[in-house]
Amino acid sequence: MSLVLDDTIAAIATAPGAAGLAVVRLSGREALAVADRVFRGRSSLESADSHTLHHGWVMDGGSRVDEIIAAVFRAPHSYTREDVVELSCHGGALPSRLVLTALLNAGARLAGPGEFTLRAFLNGRLDLAQAEAVADVIAAATGAAHDLALAQLAGSLSRRLDGLSESLVDALAEVEARVDFAEDVGGVEVPEHIVKAISEVASSLDELLRGADYARALRDGVRVPLVGRPNVGKSSLFNALLGESRAIVTDQPGTTRDRVSETIEVAGVPVTLSDTAGLRDTDEPVEKIGVALAEQALADSALVLWVIDGAAPLTAEDREIAARVASKPLLVALNQCDRGAAVAEDDVAALLDCAPRRIVRVSAVRGDGLEVLRESLASLLGADGSGEASAVAAVANPRHAEALSRARVALVRASDAAHEGAPGEVVAIELRDAIAAIGEVTGKAIAEDLLERIFGKFCVGK
């Protein structure tokens, strides 16, 4: 994808399938002229004012294609800051494809993935963080994820990063001035107020990054397998958390053979729960496959819900499972509390060699403790006490988190160098690295190949 984008592109902007309307979008220098070659209405689109609607027909050669409404948006007052025409035709796969074909025959080029938004970025309508938020808004699966993406689209993250970058540019300018005019200012050492400014920016990045895991969970969702030995009530607890009977429940050990998954929302996060086969040694061929799938789910998971039969003494199988899950972020459900309490929370904590773990006594049958279990899961995901996203949880994109982490490391090196009395040139190098890393998020410092990778993940037509 060349970054010299001065031709005219077209694509279907709405999802495929039956619908009331479909939209085909054009953008570029010749957008109005290309649209006019296929449009038949009371007046030409090339002579139309911006932000106006026009009824007519799309023609391909001498044949009518569809009855449409054409919306005209003249540069720079459009999504891409180029001339844009959007043709609303009848819904369904065929009408939109025929309209698109007519436009391509009239001189437009088929747009690549994300090319409209790429043009909006290159033409200065959006910075890169805002452009990436467009895809996040489209993909948001919960209200909290949608709100977070909208905040980024509105520029909340960009404004904060611009302020931090400006502080670093000011610091860099003073450091370099002292290097250039050392005799006039009494040396090349970095003054204390510059060190303080660097530390304040590093602290702000720390604050942003502290909320990154939860923000990413909002954006991408989290997979949480329910693991444990057979017959501890994993399937019953799975059904109770879903609020419906999705997994088969019997008193026969080893009933669950395949992995059954469903998604629930916890503190705004799409959490995909997986009911897995009981972890144990078995020679039964089908159950053995189920156990292997459970072990794979455990290995791949970032967070685990370990289910224990709290009404029976801990077994050797429980102790083996404890050794396997101890290194994971972990939530423990002491299930079947309606049958009594044979296992104490302290026994489980000792088994895990805690570090405080979240251990909740529940009854999947009666529903006891389920709300506490959900609250504990929300806390593990990073939500605050109200179950909502933290105010600083704005770094949802892994690319952003990685770049800002590099910026923070560079600032720590800069601060350390200044405290050690290193020359200003050393501090200046680190400040430049930090500024460049922050610029990667907003697009002020970005390579062409990275742009192609970012926008290549977008849907065509956006």
CATH of the domain at 228: 3.40.50.300
CATH code assigned at 75: 3.30.1360.120
Q: Which of the listed ranges 79-88, 217-226, 302-311 does the model predict with the highest average pLDDT?
A: 79-88
- Find out whether 128 and 121 touch, Cβ atoms under 8 Å: yes
d(CA 409, CA 429): 13
d(CA 13, CA 213): 32
d(CA 433, CA 427): 10
How high is the pLDDT of residue 27?
97
How high is the pLDDT of residue 309?
92
Judgement on whether residues 199 and 314 belong to the same structural domain of the protein: no
How high is the pLDDT of residue 407?
97
34 or 291, higher pLDDT:
34
What residue type is assigned to position 199 of the chain? S
- Find out whether 158 and 127 touch, Cβ atoms under 8 Å: yes
How high is the pLDDT of residue 307?
92
User: 222-227 and 358-361 as β-strands: parallel, antiparallel, unpaired?
Assistant: unpaired
How high is the pLDDT of residue 400?
95
Judgement on whether residues 354 and 263 belong to the same structural domain of the protein: yes
280 or 272, higher pLDDT:
272
Would you tell me how many other CB atoms lie within 10 Å of the CB of residue 419?
A: 11
- The answer as to whether 110 is a domain residue is yes
What residue type is assigned to position 148 of the chain? L
pLDDT surpassing 90 at residue 258: no
Number of domains in the chain: 3
Give me the sign of the Cα torsion angle 73, 21, 137, 104. negative
pLDDT surpassing 80 at residue 337: yes
DSSP state string for 5-18: --S-EEEE-S-SSS
pLDDT surpassing 60 at residue 373: yes
pTM of the model: 0.81
Domain limits for position 161:
134-211+395-443
Judgement on whether residues 142 and 268 belong to the same structural domain of the protein: no
313-331 mean pLDDT: 86
| pLDDT tens for each residue of 146-179 | 999 999 999 999 999 999 999 999 999 988 887 7
55-66 mean pLDDT: 94
139-145: Cβ within 8 A, 24+ apart = 139/219, 140/219, 141/221, 141/263, 141/270, 142/218, 142/265, 142/268, 142/269, 142/270, 143/268, 144/218, 144/267, 144/268, 144/269, 144/388, 144/389, 145/218, 145/219, 145/268, 145/270
Name the band, by pLDDT with cuts 50, 70 and 90, for residue 390: very low
- The answer as to whether 241 is a domain residue is yes
Per-residue tokens: 434: 């930090």
| pLDDT tens for each residue of 416-447 | 998 888 888 899 999 999 999 999 999 988 87
Cα-based angle 155, 160, 162 (whole degrees, multiple of 5):
90
